[in-house]
Amino acid sequence: MSFVLPVDDNDVTILGIMASMEISAAKEFSDFLNNQFSAAGQPDWFEEVRHYRKALGAPFSYNSANDLRFVLSEAAQPDSQIWHLIPNMNQMWVNAADNLRKKLNQLHHQQLRPDLNTLFQISSLFQQVTESPGLDVASWARAVKSRVQAILAGTFEPPQVLDPEPPKPEAVRAIEQNYATAQREFEKRPPWGAKWKGPKPSRKLSVDRNTRDIYDENGTSVKGELGELGDQVTEIWLRYYPRGGEVWVDEDGATMGYIKGTATMIGWFGAAPDEDADTVRGFVLPREYEFTGVDIMDLESRSMLSRNTEEPILEHLSSLSKKLPKGAKLNITDYGDLFVPVIEGEPMRVNRMHKGIWFPGQLPG
């Protein structure tokens, strides 16, 4: 497989590189292990590992050694049958492997925004996992990281004429297609605080900070249309318009307002369509967090959520203490969906946050 480097922030190219790295790393690991076990007279080693894991009652959903998730999972097991064959293995490798498995799971569930920051994260993890055993993908990952840094810094000048791209493997095309579908869903109604998509809605309303009420163009209160959600919707809109302001409501209830001159999604006139669902929506922010048992720590800045919010957070932290163990790792999406990252399958939301109860500047709005 050709080792391609990005020349800009094109999302299709970025998706292709991430998927291709996964395929290449899986093949290199598989070939390496097949050679090692064949030399030891164990050509059926993968089936032996499968039977061993199932005999222990452990889940085993992998169909071949060409699945990178299998290698990352099996090598990290305390009773691993392949650990001793991979050179330079240590706990740092295990940590990187676990993180990469979580990121790849998010990639396959269209939860990673296909941008340069995500590509930097993924290539960093690929480098950590493939460098110790000396795989060729490690050199590619290092080159990708370097190129991404140059693009972000504005020091990279793309070539005038690019070589034609080689045909893409089916797995790469599938991931790109899944992301295209996810992007169309995003464009229907983006996260609160993100740029509005589509034409300006026709129904114009206004929210008043003094009366905490919502009015139509004739000055008549329409808050009663919302029933028991009236106060909640009003407070959400006032979060974006502390002094009050004008909003426009579409036919499905999605609400637009102008924030510093930019048309912005600010909520719903009524309940959001997926208000009661526990599935995770949107793209994962490129940051990691940890629940301390009483607070949430941003692992990059080491800052605590309770000391960095505009609005009270203790009620939310108390709710999380009943759901999460101390030390649980957390991610959040641009929709404000907080969840525990999982290695396989789809994660479930543990809480819905918004910019007023999250670290400043990290959520849209």
Query: What does the pLDDT read at residue 197?
Result: 85
Three-class HEC string of the chain: CCCCCCCCCCHHHHHHHHHHHHHHHHHHHHHHHHHHHHHCCCCCHHHHHHHHHHHCCCCCCCCCCCCHHHHHHHHCCCCCCCHHHCCCCCHHHHHHHHHHHHHHHHHHCCCECCCHHHHHHHHHHHHHHHHCCCCHHHHHHHHHHHHHHHHHHCCCCCCCCCCCCCCCCHHHHHHHHHHHHHHHHHHHCCCCCCECCCCCCCEEEEEECCCCEEECCCCCECHHHHHHHHHHHHHHHHHHCCCCEEEEECCCCEEEEEECCEEEEEEECCCCCCCCCCECCCCECCCCEEECCCCEEECCCCCEHHHCCCCCCHHHHHHHHCCCCCCCEEEEECCCEEECCCCCCCCEEEEECCHHHCCCCCCCC
pLDDT of residue 183: 57
pTM of the model: 0.70
Q: What is the pLDDT of residue 179?
A: 65
Per-residue pLDDT at 340: 94
With cut-offs at 50, 70 and 90, classify the pLDDT of residue 206. very high
At residue 189, the pLDDT reads 78
Is the pLDDT at 87 greater than 70? The verdict is yes
What is the band of 198 on the pLDDT scale with cuts at 50, 70, 90?
confident
Q: Give the pLDDT of residue 17.
A: 92
pLDDT confidence of residue 171: 65
Share of the chain above pLDDT 90, in %: 49
Q: Report the percent of the chain where pLDDT is more than 70.
A: 90
Residues 59, 65, 69, 74, CA torsion sign: positive
Average pLDDT over residues 99-103: 92
Which band of pLDDT confidence, cut at 50, 70 and 90, is reported for residue 155?
A: very high
Q: What is the pLDDT of residues 243-263, one digit of tens each?
A: 899 999 998 899 999 988 889
Mean of the pLDDT values across residues 225-242? 89
Query: Over the stretch 28-38, which tens digit does the pLDDT of each residue have?
Result: 999 989 998 99
pLDDT at 239: 82
pLDDT value, residue 236 = 85
Q: What average pLDDT score do residues 296-302 get?
A: 95
Higher pLDDT, 182 or 238: 238
Residue 163 has pLDDT above 60, yes or no: no
Contacts of 338 (CB under 8 A, 6+ apart): 330, 331, 332, 349, 350, 351, 352, 353
Find the mean pLDDT for residues 336-362: 89
- Mean pLDDT for all residues in the chain: 87
The arithmetic mean of pLDDT across residues 160-173, rounded, is 64
- Which of 75-84, 177-186, 206-215 is predicted most confidently? 206-215
